[in-house]
C-alpha cells in the first residue's frame, strides 16, 4: 500500500504551512470509493473543510486490486504499519517496494494484466534462489537488496533496470508515516455478507481497535451510502437493500443497491459516475444516515453506514 500522492516526512515541529491533522483513507474498493473521496478532496473548500486538514488516500498495489476481503487488506496495512520507521523490514516489504518501482515508471499501470505474474516471479526468486520466506526479517538491508536484484537480473532485465533506478526512493515511500497522536488512519469497507463472514467482520473490528485504526463500514456496501444522498432512499424496501441480491438471474445483473442508484443518477458504474454532483448533497446524506444504523457492532446485521460520521468529523475538524 502507498500514498496516492507523494509528500514529505511528517515533522514533529509544525511549520506554518503543514497540516494540523491528516486523514489517511484506506478503501476496500479500488474504484467507487476512491472516485467519491477524490471528489471530496476537490470540493473541500465548498464543503467547509479546513485548509489545515489533509486528506490522503492510500492506494493498494501488488495485485491487491483483486482482493475483495477487508480482513486481508487490513492485515496487509497492519504489516506495513508494524514495519514503518525501519523497525522491521521483511522480504514481503522489500518485494512490495520493488513493485512500487514499476508504478513509479508507470510500467505496471500500462501492463496491469501482468502484475500477478511479476509478483510471482519476484516471490519465486526470493523463496527458491535466496531460500527466504516472505515473512523472513531482513537484518542486512544492503545485502538483501543486492541478492534480490541479482536473482531477478537474468530473468527480468527490463524489470531489473526500473527497480534498480528507483528502489531507494520506493522503499522510503512504501512506509506509511503518520503521527499516531495527531492523525487518523481510516478504513472504509463494505459489510457485504455474501463475501464477508461474521467472524471476519469481528476480526476486522478487533484489528482496528488493536492498531488504532478507525473503522467505517457500510452495510451492505458503499452504494448504500451513495443512496443516502437522496431522500428517495426512505421509500425503498429496506430488506431488499440489506440483502442486496441481484435483481435477476442474469450473469451481469445489478445488485439491488446498484439498481436503485442507477435510477437516481443519470449514469452510474462503479468506475465512472458523477461524484461531483453528490458533493452538493453531502449534508443530506449525513442527515439521512442518522436514520439508519451507525453502530459498529450492530452494523454487522443492520442496514446503515458510518461514512457520514467520518465526513462530519472531517468537515468539523479544525
* 139-198 confidence digits (pLDDT tens): 877 788 888 888 888 777 877 787 777 666 655 554 545 566 788 889 899 988 776 778
Give the mean model confidence (pLDDT) for residues 68-74. 60
Domain stops at, among 129, 156, 174: 174
- 191 and 244 in a single domain? The answer is yes
Contacts of 232 (CB under 8 A, 6+ apart): 264
Closest CA to 238 of 226, 263, 220: 220
- 185 and 53 in a single domain? The answer is yes
- 261 and 204 in a single domain? The answer is yes
| pLDDT for 164 | 75
pLDDT band at residue 106, thresholds of 50, 70 and 90? low
- Cβ proximity of 199 and 32 under 8 Å: no
Domain stops at, among 174, 208, 242: 174
| pLDDT for 250 | 87
* Residue found under cell 456496501: 221
Return the SS3 of 65: helix
- 151 and 226 in a single domain? The answer is no
Q: How far apart are alpha carbons 84 and 8 in whole angstroms?
A: 15
- 108 and 71 in a single domain? The answer is no
Domain stops at, among 131, 158, 174: 174
- 200 and 311 in a single domain? The answer is yes
Size of the chain, expressed as the number of residues it contains: 318
Q: How far apart are alpha carbons 59 and 77 in whole angstroms?
A: 11
pLDDT band at residue 40, thresholds of 50, 70 and 90? very high
| pLDDT for 243 | 94
pLDDT > 90 in the chain, percent: 36
- 124 and 242 in a single domain? The answer is no
| Number of domains the chain is built from | 2
* Residue found under cell 518501482: 101
- 231 and 162 in a single domain? The answer is no
Give the mean model confidence (pLDDT) for residues 272-291. 97
pLDDT > 80? residue 30: no
The top-scoring range by mean pLDDT among 87-91, 203-207, 305-309 is: 305-309
| pLDDT for 268 | 93
What is the residue range of 55's domain?
2-83+179-316
| pLDDT for 289 | 98
- 236 and 109 in a single domain? The answer is no
- 120 and 29 in a single domain? The answer is no
**pTM score of the predicted model:** 0.68
Cis peptide before 91 (omega within 30 of 0): no
Q: How far apart are alpha carbons 150 and 153 in whole angstroms?
A: 5
Contacts of 27 (CB under 8 A, 6+ apart): 33, 34, 37, 57, 58, 60, 188, 189
- 70 and 98 in a single domain? The answer is no
Sign of the dihedral defined by the CA atoms of residues 47, 229, 55, 22, in that order: positive
- 154 and 190 in a single domain? The answer is no
Q: How far apart are alpha carbons 208 and 78 in whole angstroms?
A: 9
In our burial notation (b when 16+ CB lie closer than 10 A, e otherwise), range 124-154 reads ebbeeeeebeeebebeeeeebbeebeebbee
| Residues in a beta bridge with 268 | 273
Amino acid at each position: 500500500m502507498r500514498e496516492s500522492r507523494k509528500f514529505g516526512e511528517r515533522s514533529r515541529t509544525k511549520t506554518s504551512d503543514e497540516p494540523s491533522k491528516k486523514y489517511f483513507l484506506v478503501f476496500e474498493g479500488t474504484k467507487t470509493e476512491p472516485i467519491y473521496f477524490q471528489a471530496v478532496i476537490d470540493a473541500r473548500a465548498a464543503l467547509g473543510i479546513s485548509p489545515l486538514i489533509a486528506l490522503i488516500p492510500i492506494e493498494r498495489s501488488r495485485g491487491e486490486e483483486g482482493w475483495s476481503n477487508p480482513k486481508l487488506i487490513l492485515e496487509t496495512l497492519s504489516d506495513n504499519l508494524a514495519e514503518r520507521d525501519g523497525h522491521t523490514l521483511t522480504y514481503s516489504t522489500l518485494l512490495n517496494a520493488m513493485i512500487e518501482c514499476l508504478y513509479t515508471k508507470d510500467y505496471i499501470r500500462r501492463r496491469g494484466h501482468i502484475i500477478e505474474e511479476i509478483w510471482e516471479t519476484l516471490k519465486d526468486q526470493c523463496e527458491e534462489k535466496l531460500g527466504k520466506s516472505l515473512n523472513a526479517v531482513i537484518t542486512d538491508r544492503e545485502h538483501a537488496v543486492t541478492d534480490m536484484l541479482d536473482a531477478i537480473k537474468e530473468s527480468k532485465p527490463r524489470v531489473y533496470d526500473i527497480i534498480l533506478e528507483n528502489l531507494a526512493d520506493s522503499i522510503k515511500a512504501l512506509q506509511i508515516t503518520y503521527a499516531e497522536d495527531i492523525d487518523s488512519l481510516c478504513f472504509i469497507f463494505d459489510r457485504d455478507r455474501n463475501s464477508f463472514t461474521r467472524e471476519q467482520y469481528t476480526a476486522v473490528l478487533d484489528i482496528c481497535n488493536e492498531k488504532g485504526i478507525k473503522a467505517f463500514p457500510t452495510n451492505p456496501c458503499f452504494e448504500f451510502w451513495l443512496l443516502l444522498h437522496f431522500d428517495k432512499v426512505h421509500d425503498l424496501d429496506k430488506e431488499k437493500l440489506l440483502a442486496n441480491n441481484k435483481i435477476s438471474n442474469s450473469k451481469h445483473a445489478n445488485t439491488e443497491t446498484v439498481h436503485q442508484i442507477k435510477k437516481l443518477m443519470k449514469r452510474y458504474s462503479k468506475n465512472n459516475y458523477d461524484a461531483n454532483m453528490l458533493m452538493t448533497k453531502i449534508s443530506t446524506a449525513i442527515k439521512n444516515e442518522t436514520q439508519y444504523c451507525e453502530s459498529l457492532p450492530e452494523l454487522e446485521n443492520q442496514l446503515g453506514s458510518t461514512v457520514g460520521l467520518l465526513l462530519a468529523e472531517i468537515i468539523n475538524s479544525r
